[in-house]
Amino acid sequence: MDGIGDVAVGVKRGSDELLSGSIYNSPSSGLSSVSDTTSNGSDSKKLRVEDRVGDAPPSRVLHIRKLPNDVSETEIIALGLPFGKVTNILTLKGKNQAFLELSTEEAAMTMVNYYSAVTPHVRSVPVYIQYSNHKELKTDNSNQSGGTLASGANSSNGGGMASSPVLRIIIDNMFYPVTLDVLQQIFSKFGTVMKIITFTKNNQFQALLQYNDPAGAQQAKVALDGQNIYNACCTLRIDYSKLVNLNVKYNNDKSRDYTRPELPAGDGQPPALDPSVVAALGKDSGSLLGALSPLSAAAAAAAAAGRVALSGHSGTSGVLLVSNLNEEMVTPHSLFTLFGVYGDVQRVKILFNKKDSALIQMADMNQAQLAMSHLNGQKMFSKIIRVTMSKHHTVQLPRDGLDDQGLTKDFTNSPLHRFKKPGSKNFQNIFPPSATLHLSNIPQDITEEDLKILFSNSGGTVKAFKFFQDHKMALIQMTTIEEAIQCLIDLHNYNMGNNHHLKVSFLQINHLKQFERS
């Protein structure tokens, strides 16, 4: 950032307004947003740019450099969408730079961790992302007018408003699973998604998606038609539907009415989130996804696979280097269990001459990047671990007859892999580490007290607990994320008796409230 002086800051906009405005700034549209021009710079506040490469502490504001000359706001925002809600953007077009503000520091940290290993590309040009010294983008409030932006953009569209709020979506080249939550995460950036129905027709995965108004449908179609959900595959083909309202009867993995969380699952399918869990989460949970982090399972998986903006995906290695481990406590199995939350671990090798470091081979590059983005900087056995991509392409097993003290393990054929089955529901249940854990496969005779004692014995304190699904599943909240990580390592696949092995995973719920049972 050397040589940059004071720069004028543009109009601050929320993510919906940002995206609806920036769509019309793209080169293909021939339109401009009302925020692109100002009569003069005197009304705008000034922002002193003080960022230097590599020396800024974590911040939810990120500094992006080396952007192409003709880059649009949509393309910049697309870099951040897989990681959470984008709340503001400032482009410095004359300097090929931009500032991107995310809703949380956690989302920004995940984004920086991910792009530190895989250089993002915009229009085949590598760009560089770092933390900004600014904690937020301060902008000129006098020019804020979301309604003006939206109406101005819509009225500028010569084709007129779409008559239907319902889109018909066909997905071509579907090499990765696409779930309801993937679609909701992507399309909710352009308006309020009310309902989604998915189905297969003519051997193609299709969906009907309803917004609360036609404007959202119009903006989504303009921005997303022809885009890839994942790198070089899962291409969106979008048209308007003749329907104006969808009739959703069930909330499950095929259909969802976000305005009616009380709908049954139907056909024996489990609901996305049990209504009793929604009740347990308190009044703030107004929908099935109300309690979940913006970085949902689907978004995390999409980020790892290289959504839209990552045309420059490089490297094929799925091997991670994990350092700063607690060498007195770490084992290949503990690493297998923790990293197995984000992919199918094939092999683990704790280095013989440096036992605070290990190589972990995942099933593919995407899983390795997902594990790295979520586990780098987390505490494991009281030490903050560092996770980076390794230069190795595979983890070598010890030669026959060579005793390596059990430091290398081959998990290739492990029955504990979570993602071996294509389209597994586990793809929908990937979350960043959190203090809240989801438990399943619980025997009927196990009580709340039994589970609280079991988890307390792992060295943590249970803050809250809730059974659901007829006591087959439960949510349990520990005091810290570190405690939850320890419990997951110790108790995932724990034998509860009668061949019931407990299944444990993270669930990104901000707070689980105790309440009296009826």
Separation of alpha carbons 253 and 260, rounded Å: 15
Give the range among 447-451, 491-495, 507-511 with minimum mean pLDDT.
507-511
Question: How would you label 250-263 residue by residue, b for 16+ Cβ within 10 Å and e otherwise?
Answer: bbbbbbbbbbebeb
Token digits of residue 414: 């492990």
Q: 438 in a domain, yes or no? A: yes
What SS3 class is residue 195?
Answer: strand
pLDDT of residue 13: 39
3-state SS class at 251? coil
Neighbours of 348 (CB within 10 A): 25
Residue 308 lies in a domain: no
- Same domain for 509 and 443, yes or no, is yes
pLDDT for residue 41: 39
Number of domains in the chain: 4
For residues 424 and 442, give the distance between their C-alpha atoms in angstroms, rounded to a whole number: 20
If you average pLDDT over residues 450-460, what whole number do you get?
A: 93
Q: Do residues 270 and 234 lie in contact, with contact meaning Cβ atoms separated by under 8 Å?
A: no
377 and 441 in a single domain? The answer is no
| Cα gap 337→397, rounded to integer Å | 19
Q: Are residue 125 and residue 176 in the same domain, yes or no? A: no
Mean pLDDT calculated for residue range 397-404: 79
Q: Are residues 77 and 127 in the same domain?
A: yes
Residue 494 has what pLDDT?
A: 95
Query: In the structure, what pLDDT confidence band is assigned to residue 267 with cuts at 50, 70 and 90?
Result: low
Residue range 72-81, pLDDT digits in tens: 887 788 788 7
pLDDT score recorded for residue 162: 53
Q: Is residue 425 part of a domain?
A: no
Q: Which amino acid is at 72?
A: S
> What CATH code is carried by the domain that includes residue 331?
3.30.70.330
Q: Confirm whether 141 is domain-assigned.
A: no
**Cβ-Cβ contacts under 8 Å for 201 (sequence gap 6 or more):** none
Residues 370 and 443 occupy one common structural domain: no
- Indicate whether 390 belongs to any domain: yes
Alpha carbon 476 to chain centroid, angstroms: 22
Q: Enter the tokens of residue 136.
A: 């937020």
| CA dist., res. 209 & res. 256, Å (int) | 10
Structure tokens at 54: 């590599």
Give the three-class secondary structure for 159.
Answer: coil
Displacement of CA 87 from its chain's centroid (Å): 16
**Average pLDDT, integer, range 288-312:** 34
Average pLDDT over residues 312-330: 77
- Residues sharing a CB contact under 8 Å with residue 380, sequence separation 6 or more, in sequence order: 325, 326, 330, 334, 338, 482, 485, 489
Assign 194 to helix, strand or coil: strand
The whole-number pLDDT of residue 223 equals 81
350 vs 383, 415, 488, CA distance in Å? 16, 22, 20
Task: Check: CB of residue 300 under 8 Å from CB of residue 374.
Answer: yes
Which of these ranges, 25-39, 239-253, 259-273, 429-443, has the smallest mean pLDDT?
25-39
User: Which pLDDT does position 303 carry in this prediction?
Assistant: 42
490 falls within a domain: yes
Question: Rounded to an integer, what distance in angstroms lies between the CA atom of residue 46 and that of residue 357?
Answer: 46
Residue ending a domain, choose from 257, 290, 309: 257
pLDDT at site 306 = 36
Residues 116 and 174 in one domain: no
Q: Is 102 helix (H, G, I), strand (E, B) or coil?
A: strand
Question: Residue range 322-344: average pLDDT?
Answer: 95
Least confident segment among 37-51, 201-215, 231-245, 470-484: 37-51
So what's the pLDDT on residue 428? 64
Determine the average pLDDT of the residues in 10-36.
34
What average pLDDT does the chain have? Answer: 74
Confidence of residue 314 (pLDDT cuts 50, 70, 90): very low
Count how many Cα atoms sit within 13 Å of the Cα of residue 465 in the half-sphere of its side chain: 16
Which residue, 220, 236, 257, sits at the end of a domain?
257
Among residues 228, 257, 286, the one where a domain terminates is: 257
Residue 159 has pLDDT above 80, yes or no: no
Question: Could you tell me if residue 462 is inside a domain?
Answer: yes
Q: Give the structural domain span for 117.
A: 61-131
Q: What is the pLDDT of residues 341-374, one digit of tens each?
A: 999 999 999 998 899 999 999 988 878 888 888 8
For residue 45, what pLDDT is reported? Answer: 39
Question: Is the pLDDT assigned to residue 177 strictly greater than 80?
Answer: no
Confidence of residue 253 (pLDDT cuts 50, 70, 90): confident
Q: How many DSSP H helices and E strands does the chain contain?
A: 12, 25
| Contact (Cβ atoms closer than 8 angstroms) between residue 166 and residue 244 | yes
- Dist. CA 249–CA 422, nearest whole Å: 27
Mean pLDDT in residue range 381-390: 91
C-alpha to C-alpha distance for 441 and 473, rounded to whole angstroms: 7
- The answer to whether 54 and 130 are in contact (CB under 8 A) is yes
Q: What is the mean pLDDT of residues 431-451?
A: 91
Please tell me the distance from the alpha carbon of residue 503 to that of residue 513, in angstroms, as a whole number. 22
Q: Are residues 127 and 186 in the same domain?
A: no
C-alpha 508: how far from chain center? 11
Do 194 and 251 fall within a single domain? yes
Residue 468 has pLDDT above 50, yes or no: yes
Looking at 274-278, 283-287, 447-451, 480-484, which range is the least confident one? 283-287
What is the three-state SS of 383-441? Answer: EECEEEECCCCCCCCCCCCCCCCCCEEECCCCCCCCCCCCCCHHHHCCCCCCCEEEEEC
DSSP 433-489: --SEEEEE---TT--HHHHHHHHHTTT--EEEEEEETTTTEEEEEESSHHHHHHHHH
Q: Is the pLDDT at 394 greater than 80, yes or no?
A: yes
Return the pLDDT at 485.
96
**Is 183 within the bounds of a domain?**
yes
pLDDT at 501 over 90: yes
Q: Is 497 helix (H, G, I), strand (E, B) or coil?
A: coil
pLDDT band at residue 282 using 50, 70 and 90 as cut-offs: very low
**What's the pLDDT at 11?**
36
pLDDT recorded at residue 123: 79
Residues 124 and 170 in one domain: no
